[in-house]
Amino acid sequence: MFKKFFYKFEQLIVWAQSKLTNKQFIFLSSVLVGISAALAVIILKTFAHWVLHLPHESIKF
């Protein structure tokens, strides 16, 4: 499943490189990296809050 996804992703990158100038491709790549980094931060922050609040919510006196 992942091999197929990465193969399609690689084809998309090769296609984008052939259609865009180097400057446009670098700009597009940086935007995609920024978006993926933001999503990773959101996931990590959510996980950290979940871990922080888990002991407080599971122990009831």
Helix (H) or strand (E) holding 53: helix 22-58
What average pLDDT score do residues 16-40 get?
Answer: 93
pLDDT at 61: 55
Share of the chain above pLDDT 90, in %: 56
Q: Are the C-beta atoms of 24 and 32 separated by less than 8 Å? A: no
Position 9 confidence tier, pLDDT thresholds 50, 70, 90: confident
Question: Tokens representing 52?
Answer: 């922080």
Q: pLDDT tens-digit profile of 40-57?
A: 999 999 999 988 887 766
